[in-house]
Structure 1
Amino acid sequence: MNKLILDDLVARKINQGIQLLQGQDFKNFSLNDQVVGLYNSKQDFLGTAYLSSQNKGIGWLISRDQVHLDEDFFIDLLTRARQKRQAYENDELTTAYRLFNQEGDHLGGLSIDRYGSYALFSWYNSYIYSLRDVIIAAFKQVYPELLGGYEKIRFKGLTYESAHCYGQEAPDTFTILENGVHYRVFLDDGLMTGIFLDQHEVRLSLINGLALGKSVLNMFSYTAAFSIAAAMGGASDTTSVDLAKRSRELSRAHFEANSLDLTHHQLMVMDVFDYYRYAKRRGLSYDLIILDPPSFARNKKQTFSVVKDYHKLISQAVEILNPEGTIIASTNASNVSVEQFQQELEKGFGRIKHRYLDLKQLPADFTVNKADKRSNYLKVYTIKVE
């Protein structure tokens, strides 16, 4: 095992509990795709890490001890992760949730989700991908009851994004339960699955009364999962807006899975800023507006960045919001802190009176590294406009 000597600043980060190794902290760095021992300038051992470039950094601390990444290591890691999630496992109303969440479960670069009787592995760098066989073997020991597994390749360099990786193959689409609501999902069609599991607490709030009797506008709706939850929670009507043409077909599948008539539920294929103009021209307004944009998006007309442009979503949403209306403002941008996000929201509201009712971050199945705020990337504010 190679030694990696850290300067005092980086060693201090490791001692504070930071697991992510970042390129700017290392000069003339050339090592990649290997396990290394981390040492401080005094040659004191700090921990075992692996190096492999990905979009977040150049590697991850694995353990403060010297460890071997064999099947027994992964069995222990996955068993401890399973024990944390017993409440989800025992919940008959939910069959899809996260089983293993990167650094929150002490192995950055890997996440594993459960979709009914199937597992979905996401590999975020080439080194963790090189361990896939031993990780899957360990997973089968810890979760023998699951029928099969799929994988998503979330780094550059391979010729495919999605594949079946072990056991029985799932149907092309099938139904999972979340908070008692049915959603149609797919595991072998690009990087998406039909639902973002990290938002299940937000959807639960819509089911449990937040949407009751309200007209709901769901922007950047993808497969309209928020709209389904709102409809199941008694919304009077919903409108789901997304630029992707396929969003209509995928959204309709969720409505059909819950036997919901589309009479009071519109699916609009349109740019969200175009829809704002469309709604204003027609005098449309809503009691509840949900904003959950991607961190960065580009179309033929413009680009959108959470860091620079979120305030525009807020200022235009307020213009079509009914009196005493509510906005759910969400972002999954890990480079935007809670404080920065709130500042961007305040910029959008300007002098309009409003109050923050709730802040949700990642749910318990998406365990986080409490020493590193960046690992708790989700920020969802519920805001009452007065």
Structure 2
Amino acid sequence: MIDVILKKGKEKAVHQRHPWVFSGAIDRVKGKPANGDIVRLVNAGGDFMAYGFYNDQSRVALRLLEWDENKAVDETWFRTRVAEAVDGRKNILSTGETNTCRLIFSEADYLPGLIVDRYADHLAVQVLTSGMERMMPVVIDELRKLLNPKSIFDKSDASSRQHEGMDTENVVLFGDNPPESVEVTENGVRYNINIAEGQKSGFYCDQRDNRRIVAAHAKGKKVLDCFSYTGGFTLNALYNGATSVTSVDSSALAIETLKENIKLNKLDASKHRAIQSDVNKQLRAFKETGETFDIIVLDPPKYAPSRSALDRASRAYKDLNRIGMLLLNKGGLLATFSCSGAMDLETFKQVLAWAALDASKQVQFIGQFCQPEDHPVRSSFPEGEYLKGLLCRVF
């Protein structure tokens, strides 16, 4: 196994078991490892520090796997990690009200670059690192043994693959092509999921708990669900007695799927209005016509993919939330989210304070949202905490 030598003074993060080593922290490499090879990381004195995946095309040159020199990072090691991750989600799937969740969450489950989502009897995977790409035959075999899925579909279309020198993938890894519509249940609500054509891996199961929390306030209320996708917040609000729900999304496929999901759940379609439009444009249209709401959900895509984009993203979040506040009836609730890892909760609160000032509104933070337990945050990898949100009362 090839040795990668760390620069003197760069040991602290490795000792603290942070799984990333950036290229600038590496002094030299003894030999020429191929991208995706498992290498030994040693300090300047030659002492062992960790084993990890190597990739010289990535800014994150090493993704660390194991800190115990006596533990071989072999096929058995990877099978054990997969089994442990799947076992940790059993309680979520044991109630009978939910059969979809994230089974493996990359670094949080000690499998950097691997995401696996379960949709009933089908699995969707995203492989984002060259090292994990090499291990996929082992991973797929273990998933088949543990779960016996009807299909495993590769949704590795994330732009981050390009940083590892890999092309995007959208192929069947096991079984047949997943059907165009896979029915899943989350918190007792039924959804049709399009794995092959849907966003990300097909569904946003990271909002499972937050949908339930927001829906608890929906009875008798007029609700606006922005960036609604296939209707997570919409369906839960209708289930919980909302007077009306308006859903806005720019995707025609998402809107059509949402309408089908309303039929699937036998909900009152007369209480629902779907609008295919750019959300910011539609919010301004509501402002011009004077339409207001009791509850507004703002769940936009990632505005800040990196810290360098944080200033620009903060302005976008501020403008979006300012308009949302202007559309709320007095004392109305704003459930607002950021899935940008670079945006921490305190910064997000400050952005909302600026939005409230510009909108001439008073805002109370009455609740905080986070990602659910199938999206754990590893103590040595705080970067895994990406989803945050606030429930605000606006006056």
Normalising by structure 1, what TM-score? 0.90
Alignment-derived partner of residue 212 in structure 1? 219
Corresponding residue to 1:76 among 52, 55, 80: 80
| Structure 1 residues 257-309: Cα deviation after superposition (integer angstroms, max 9, x where no partner) | 21123222111111222212211222210011111111239xxxxxx953331
**3-state secondary structure, aligned to 1:254:** helix
| Structure 1 residues 164-211: Cα deviation after superposition (integer angstroms, max 9, x where no partner) | 21135432212100000001102222654542011111112134x122
**3-state secondary structure, aligned to 1:10:** coil
CA change 1:330–1:56 in 2 (3 A) is farther
Alignment-derived partner of residue 10 in structure 1? 10
Q: Contact 2:182/2:193 (CA < 8 Å) preserved in 1?
A: yes
Q: Contact 2:112/2:129 (CA < 8 Å) preserved in 1?
A: no
Shift of 1:86: 2.3
**What is the CA–CA distance in structure 2 between the aligned matches of 1:21 and 1:334, rounded to whole Å?**
18
CA change 1:385–1:140 in 2 (3 A) is same
Q: Contact 1:354/1:384 (CA < 8 Å) preserved in 2?
A: yes
Aligned residues: 378
Corresponding residue to 2:53 among 47, 50, 53: 50
CA change 1:380–1:55 in 2 (3 A) is farther
Q: Name the amino acid aligned to 1:358.
A: G
Alignment-derived partner of residue 192 in structure 2? 184
**3-state secondary structure, aligned to 1:187:** coil
Q: Contact 2:155/2:201 (CA < 8 Å) preserved in 1?
A: no
Asked whether 1:330 is paired with 2:337, we answer: yes
- Where structure 2 has 5 or more consecutive residues not aligned to the other structure, the ranges are 305-310
Q: Contact 1:101/1:368 (CA < 8 Å) preserved in 2?
A: no
Q: Name the amino acid aligned to 1:321.
A: L
Q: Contact 2:301/2:339 (CA < 8 Å) preserved in 1?
A: yes
Asked whether 1:62 is paired with 2:69, we answer: no
Q: Contact 1:16/1:371 (CA < 8 Å) preserved in 2?
A: yes
**3-state secondary structure, aligned to 2:107:** helix
Shift of 1:238: 0.9
Corresponding residue to 1:121 among 121, 125, 132: 125
Shift of 1:47: 0.9
Alignment-derived partner of residue 384 in structure 1? 393
Asked whether 1:99 is paired with 2:106, we answer: no
Mean CA deviation greater in 348-357 or 263-272: 348-357
Q: Contact 1:74/1:138 (CA < 8 Å) preserved in 2?
A: no
**What is the CA–CA distance in structure 1 between the aligned matches of 2:218 and 2:388, rounded to whole Å?**
20
**What is the CA–CA distance in structure 1 between the aligned matches of 2:239 and 2:101, rounded to whole Å?**
20
Shift of 1:125: 2.1
Q: Contact 1:221/1:241 (CA < 8 Å) preserved in 2?
A: yes
**What is the CA–CA distance in structure 2 between the aligned matches of 1:24 and 1:383, rounded to whole Å?**
42
Alignment-derived partner of residue 247 in structure 1? 254
CA change 1:194–1:137 in 2 (3 A) is closer
**What is the CA–CA distance in structure 1 between the aligned matches of 2:368 and 2:217, rounded to whole Å?**
14
CA change 1:356–1:27 in 2 (3 A) is farther
**What is the CA–CA distance in structure 1 between the aligned matches of 2:58 and 2:47, rounded to whole Å?**
29
CA change 1:311–1:150 in 2 (3 A) is same
CA change 1:205–1:289 in 2 (3 A) is same
CA change 1:190–1:224 in 2 (3 A) is closer
Q: Name the amino acid aligned to 1:343.
A: Q
Q: Contact 2:7/2:27 (CA < 8 Å) preserved in 1?
A: no
Shift of 1:59: 3.4
Q: Name the amino acid aligned to 1:137.
A: D
Alignment-derived partner of residue 323 in structure 2? 316
CA change 1:205–1:307 in 2 (3 A) is same
**What is the CA–CA distance in structure 2 between the aligned matches of 1:54 and 1:306, rounded to whole Å?**
27
CA change 1:241–1:191 in 2 (3 A) is closer
Shift of 1:159: 6.0
Q: Percent identity?
A: 26
Alignment of 1:226-245 (within 5 A): 226-245=233-252
CA change 1:362–1:8 in 2 (3 A) is farther
Mean CA deviation greater in 45-54 or 331-340: 45-54
CA change 1:334–1:9 in 2 (3 A) is farther
**What is the CA–CA distance in structure 2 between the aligned matches of 1:135 and 1:184, rounded to whole Å?**
27
CA change 1:158–1:12 in 2 (3 A) is closer
Shift of 1:89: 2.7
Shift of 1:334: 1.0
Corresponding residue to 1:365 among 349, 374, 387: 374
Asked whether 1:353 is paired with 2:362, we answer: yes
Shift of 1:56: 7.7
Alignment-derived partner of residue 173 in structure 2? 165
Normalising by structure 2, what TM-score? 0.88
CA change 1:336–1:110 in 2 (3 A) is same
Asked whether 1:40 is paired with 2:49, we answer: no
| Structure 1 residues 16-49: Cα deviation after superposition (integer angstroms, max 9, x where no partner) | 2211233444478886322111112232211111
| Structure 1 residues 366-385: Cα deviation after superposition (integer angstroms, max 9, x where no partner) | 12212222111110111111
Alignment-derived partner of residue 307 in structure 2? none
